[in-house]
């Protein structure tokens, strides 16, 4: 089975081992260490780590399309944000009559705008199952429509990157507007609870952190499953010699569309887990700059490795937290400098440093593993 | 009991599970039929009223000076370029002008490019695996596994193209000649009815050329092969029938001796080489 194949693979086993190990250690240090111990992990840190894991999942999604399909998406922030908004809408409806205006149905910002009733597209978001489906469907459908149009007309390379930027920029402008019904530039915030659990308690925060870790593990295995399947090899073929792939009978645009939609959905899940942990979703997540930053994480970590994307996302965001604490204005320069340094000295990213073992892994897999399958 | 057997013998109950028979209809003559085909790029007629017929099982060589339109002709047959006028039929049933590249490939036309293009990041084995004639839709490809008979077929082709020892090497490290062969191997994996081979021996050593000639002649009969080539010695060694293309249309057609004695041909092509 394509989904279980990665589980037999050394690199995936190591990745999952390290990830689950980290989840357990962080939880244990949070739960069992006395608060004054140097090893104690505060609830604040747990949530910060949860946020990093969301970014890591987003980076994995970007690496799937950029690394293996050759589509440099500079608009994945849009899928992340849409997943986030779907979750945000659910969390808004969960507030119920506990808002400032106490309206049992309408979120505060709608009361403030003198709206009389919920817009039709807010219907159903009071039900968790519906909202969670929309977390996948909203980015998935946007990717499907966008990808269908772009790939069918064979838009590739720089042009595609530019229209992905335009896409996320257009969405940002749209979501800034109050009439859109998504809270304008304030976005959605003041969440109270999720699935009945109070978002301000330590237990809920730890739970969200763990859920994010598990989502990252599942997302990684799905991507790895695609990448190690024959379809993954076809993706690489599309990336390197699109015309040739067509002439041996593959519908390149469908391969691109499938992988792109899967990637967008994973980005949506990352956004959905991000929102309850940071407590707000606003149009700045659509900012073109954010999408470019994600690509920088992947490039720094190492393209076309998946685990490199995770490493890149974690390291850069940790550096960002530290750096913005010391010199908030210099962060973008530091990121730019880091990017230049890595491109010049480590063209394969951080993962390139440790790739000797995994390279052997990669060339052996399809032939060696499928013999036993 | 017999009903049960019938049901378990599913390839007879469900027609789509039966081994695929080539749908190409050649009962009424040629496998490829091009009539009055013209195409122009920015007013320049690259193909000009081209008429060409390839019989089933034939090995045909196409020669002509640079810019004669040989590659463009292949682009038209494989669906990459749409002609302005004319018709192109594969057998008597399939109008190629209404089909796209993957469909034409799946129907049984394989193509080797002038510049060898293989998937350099993938291994030799994987290159052949991807080319193999199987269900190439998304989900069958996602769930595909390497069956023993697939492996056998790949090994067979590896043997034929002399790349057995390099099966796990990334195709990017192959020499130019080896890439040419890998590409021919990928063609064979597709099990096409018609092979279009654009300048197969460019960059090959004398010895490699001989083996390529052998390979191509051995294919003819079972498959139809159209070879575009510059190397006259090579053409002479494999050709039974030669078509000379000049300025987008057929200048002469016949055996190698016939065309090389044709004064027109000598003037435009052979003359300038001699
Ligand atoms: N896509 C294209 N756009 C413009 N001109 C083209 C295109 N493809 C081919 N040509 C022109 O058509 C002519 C025939 O080219 P080609 O078929 O490659 O010749 P050959 O393969 O016989 O050397 C050349 O003059 C070439 O410049
Ligand atoms: Mg040519």
CB B265 within 8 A of CB B256: no
Residues in contact with A144: Cβ distance below 8 Å, sequence separation at least 6, in sequence order: A257, A261
Q: Do B130 and A248 touch (CB under 8 A)?
A: yes
Residue A71, pLDDT score: 96
Is residue B125, in this structure, part of any structural domain at all? Answer: yes
Is residue B9, in this structure, part of any structural domain at all? Answer: yes
Q: Is the CB of B43 under 6 A from ligand 1?
A: no
* Rounded Cα–Cα distance for residues A345 and B5 (Å): 66
Q: Look at strands B85-90 and B32-41 and give their pairing.
A: antiparallel
Is residue B274, in this structure, part of any structural domain at all? Answer: no
Is residue A146, in this structure, part of any structural domain at all? Answer: yes
* Ligand (nearest to CA of B115): 2
Residue A355, pLDDT score: 66
Residue B206, pLDDT score: 87
**Which token pair is A119?**
């817009």
Is residue A325, in this structure, part of any structural domain at all? Answer: no
Stretch B17-38: mean pLDDT, rounded?
A: 75
Angle between helical axes of A252-278 and A76-95 (0-180°, round to 10) = 40
Give the total number of structural domains in chain A: 1
Q: Look at strands A197-198 and A193-194 and give their pairing.
A: antiparallel
Stretch B129-158: mean pLDDT, rounded?
A: 94
CB A220 within 8 A of CB A306: yes
**Which residues from A are below 8 Å from B138, CB to CB?**
231, 254-255, 258
**Of the candidates B257, B199, B243, which has an alpha carbon nearest to the alpha carbon of residue B54?**
B243
CB B74 within 8 A of CB B196: yes
Name the residue of B37, B38, B65, B67 to mutate for ligand 1: max ligand atoms within 8 A of Cβ. B67
**Distance from B180 to chain A by nearest Cα, in Å?**
13
Residue A366, pLDDT score: 44
Is residue B45, in this structure, part of any structural domain at all? Answer: yes
pLDDT in tens, B70-79: 999 999 999 9
A164-203: string of b/e by CB count within 10 Å (b at 16+)?
A: bbebbbebbeebbeeeebbbbeebbbbbebbeeeebeeee
Q: Global pTM?
A: 0.88
Is residue A356, in this structure, part of any structural domain at all? Answer: no
Q: Is the CB of B115 under 6 A from ligand 1?
A: no
**Which token pair is B26?**
């050649």
**Of the candidates A272, A264, A271, A261, which has an alpha carbon nearest to the alpha carbon of residue A132?**
A272
pLDDT at B14 over 60: no
**Of the candidates A302, A69, A279, A84, which has an alpha carbon nearest to the alpha carbon of residue A192?**
A279
**Of the candidates A142, A180, A134, A182, which has an alpha carbon nearest to the alpha carbon of residue A164?**
A142
- Taken in order A337, A341, A347, A353, the sign of the CA dihedral is negative
Is residue B160, in this structure, part of any structural domain at all? Answer: yes
Q: Which residue has the tokens 């021996």?
A: B201
Stretch B245-258: mean pLDDT, rounded?
A: 91
* Rounded Cα–Cα distance for residues B224 and B203 (Å): 24
Residue B22, pLDDT score: 63
Is some CB atom of chain A closer than 8 A to the CB atom of B167?
Answer: yes
CA distances from A347 to A60, A157, A299, A339 (A): 18, 19, 8, 10
Give Rg (Cα) of chain A.
21
Residues in contact with A179: Cβ distance below 8 Å, sequence separation at least 6, in sequence order: none
Residue A367, pLDDT score: 41
* Rounded Cα–Cα distance for residues B200 and B209 (Å): 9
Give the total number of structural domains in chain B: 1
DSSP letter assigned to residue A121: G
pLDDT at B9 over 60: no
**Which token pair is B104?**
């034409």
Q: Flag residues of chain A having pLDDT under 50.
A: 357-373
**CATH classification of the domain holding B10:** 3.40.50.300
Q: Is the CB of B70 under 6 A from ligand 1?
A: yes
Q: Do A364 and B168 touch (CB under 8 A)?
A: yes
Work out the pLDDT band at B10, boundaries 50, 70, 90. Answer: very low
- Containing structural domain, residue A257: 6-288
Is some CB atom of chain B closer than 8 A to the CB atom of A249?
Answer: yes
Q: Look at strands B59-63 and B241-246 and give their pairing.
A: parallel
Is some CB atom of chain A closer than 8 A to the CB atom of B65?
Answer: no
CB B225 within 8 A of CB B31: no
Is residue A310, in this structure, part of any structural domain at all? Answer: no
Q: Which residue has the tokens 């990213």?
A: A349
- Taken in order A334, A338, A340, A345, the sign of the CA dihedral is positive
DSSP letter assigned to residue B268: I
Helix residue ranges, H only, chain A: 10-32, 43-67, 76-95, 108-112, 128-152, 157-176, 202-228, 230-240, 242-247, 252-278, 288-301, 307-326, 331-345, 349-353, 355-372
Convert B35-84 into a string of H (helix), E (strand) and C (coil): EEEEEEECCEEEEEEEEEEECCCCEEEEECCCCCCHHHHHHHHCCCCCCC
Helix residue ranges, H only, A279-354: 288-301, 307-326, 331-345, 349-353
Helix (H, G, I), strand (E, B) or coil at B125: helix
- Beta pairing partners, B250: B245
**Of the candidates B193, B246, B256, B255, which has an alpha carbon nearest to the alpha carbon of residue B66?**
B246
* Rounded Cα–Cα distance for residues A323 and A253 (Å): 42
Residue B269, pLDDT score: 66
* Rounded Cα–Cα distance for residues B273 and B88 (Å): 32
**Which residues from B are below 8 Å from A231, CB to CB?**
138, 141-142, 144
Residues in contact with B110: Cβ distance below 8 Å, sequence separation at least 6, in sequence order: A247, A248, B186, B187, B190, B192, B194, B195, B196
CB B29 within 8 A of CB B90: no
The distance in angstroms from the start CA to the end CA of chain A is 8
CB B11 within 8 A of CB B18: yes
Helix residue ranges, H only, chain B: 2-8, 10-13, 70-77, 101-107, 124-131, 138-142, 148-160, 176-189, 206-219, 232-238, 256-261, 263-265, 271-273
Between CA A291 and CA B196, with CA A155 as vertex, the angle to 5 degrees is 135
- Containing structural domain, residue B45: 3-269
- Taken in order A301, A302, A304, A307, the sign of the CA dihedral is negative
pLDDT in tens, B190-232: 989 999 999 888 878 888 888 889 888 888 888 899 999 878 8
Which residue's C-alpha comes closest to atom 25 of ligand 1? Answer: B67
CA distances from B129 to A70, A308, B167, B272 (A): 21, 28, 11, 43
**Distance from B127 to chain A by nearest Cα, in Å?**
9
Residue A372, pLDDT score: 36
């Amino acid at each position: 089975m394509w989904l279980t194949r990665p589980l037999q693979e050394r690199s995936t086993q190591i990745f999952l081992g390290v990830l689950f190990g980290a989840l357990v250690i962080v939880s244990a240090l949070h739960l069992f260490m006395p608060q004054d111990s140097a090893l104690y992990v505060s609830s604040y840190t747990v949530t910060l780590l949860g946020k990093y894991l969301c970014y890591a999942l987003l980076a994995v999604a970007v690496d799937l399309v950029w690394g293996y399909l050759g589509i440099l998406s500079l608009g994945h922030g849009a899928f992340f944000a849409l997943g986030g908004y779907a979750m945000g809408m659910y969390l808004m409806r969960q507030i119920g009559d506990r808002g400032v205006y106490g309206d049992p149905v309408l979120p505060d910002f709608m009361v403030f705008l003198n709206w009389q009733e919920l817009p039709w597209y807010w219907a159903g978001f009071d039900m968790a199952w519906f909202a969670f489906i929309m977390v996948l469907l909203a980015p998935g459908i946007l990717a499907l429509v966008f990808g269908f149009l772009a790939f069918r007309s064979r838009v590739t390379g720089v042009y595609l990157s530019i229209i992905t930027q335009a896409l996320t920029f257009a969405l940002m402008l749209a979501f800034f507007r109050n009439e859109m019904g998504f809270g304008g530039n304030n976005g959605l915030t003041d969440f109270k609870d999720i699935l009945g659990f109070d978002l301000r308690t330590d237990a809920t925060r730890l739970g969200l952190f763990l859920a994010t870790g598990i989502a990252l593990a599942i997302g990684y295995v799905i991507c790895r499953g695609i990448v190690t399947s024959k379809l993954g090899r076809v993706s690489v073929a599309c990336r390197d010699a699109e015309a040739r792939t067509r002439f041996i009978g593959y519908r390149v645009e469908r391969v691109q569309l499938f992988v792109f939609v899967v990637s967008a959905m994973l980005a949506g899940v990352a956004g959905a887990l991000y929102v309850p942990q940071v407590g707000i979703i606003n149009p700045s997540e659509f900012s073109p700059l954010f999408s470019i930053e994600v690509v920088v994480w992947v490039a720094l970590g190492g393209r076309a490795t998946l685990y490199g994307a995770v490493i890149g996302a974690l390291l850069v965001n940790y550096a960002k937290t530290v750096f913005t604490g010391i010199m908030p204005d210099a962060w973008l320069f530091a990121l730019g400098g880091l990017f230049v340094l890595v491109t010049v000295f480590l063209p394969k990213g951080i993962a390139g440093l440790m790739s000797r073992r995994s390279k052997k892994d990669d060339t052996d897999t399809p032939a060696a593993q499928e013999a036993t399958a | 009991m017999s009903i049960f057997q019938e049901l378990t013998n599913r390839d007879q109950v469900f027609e789509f599970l039966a081994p695929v028979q080539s749908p190409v209809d050649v009962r009424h003559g040629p496998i490829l039929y091009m009539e009055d085909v013209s195409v122009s790029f920015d007013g320049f007629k690259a193909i000009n009223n081209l008429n060409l017929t390839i019989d089933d099982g034939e090995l045909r060589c196409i020669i002509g000076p640079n810019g004669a339109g040989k590659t463009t002709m292949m682009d038209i047959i494989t669906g990459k370029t749409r002609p302005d006028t004319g018709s192109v039929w594969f057998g008597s049933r399939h109008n190629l002008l209404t089909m796209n590249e993957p469909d034409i490939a799946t129907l049984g036309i394989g193509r080797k490019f002038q510049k060898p293009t293989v998937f350099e990041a993938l291994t030799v084995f994987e290159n052949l695996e991807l080319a193999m004639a199987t269900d190439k839709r998304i989900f069958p490809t996602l769930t595909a596994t390497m069956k023993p008979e697939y492996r056998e077929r790949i090994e067979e082709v590896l043997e034929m193209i002399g790349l057995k020892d390099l099966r796990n090497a990334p195709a990017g490290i192959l020499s130019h000649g080896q890439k040419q062969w890998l590409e021919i191997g990928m063609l064979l994996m597709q099990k096409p009815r018609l092979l279009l081979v654009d300048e197969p021996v460019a960059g090959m050593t004398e010895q490699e050329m001989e083996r390529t000639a052998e390979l191509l002649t051995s294919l003819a009969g079972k498959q139809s092969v159209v070879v575009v080539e510059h190397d006259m010695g090579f053409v002479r060694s494999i050709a039974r029938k030669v078509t000379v293309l000049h300025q987008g249309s057929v200048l002469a057609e016949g055996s190698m001796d016939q065309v090389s004695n044709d004064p027109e041909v000598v003037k435009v092509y052979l003359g300038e080489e001699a």
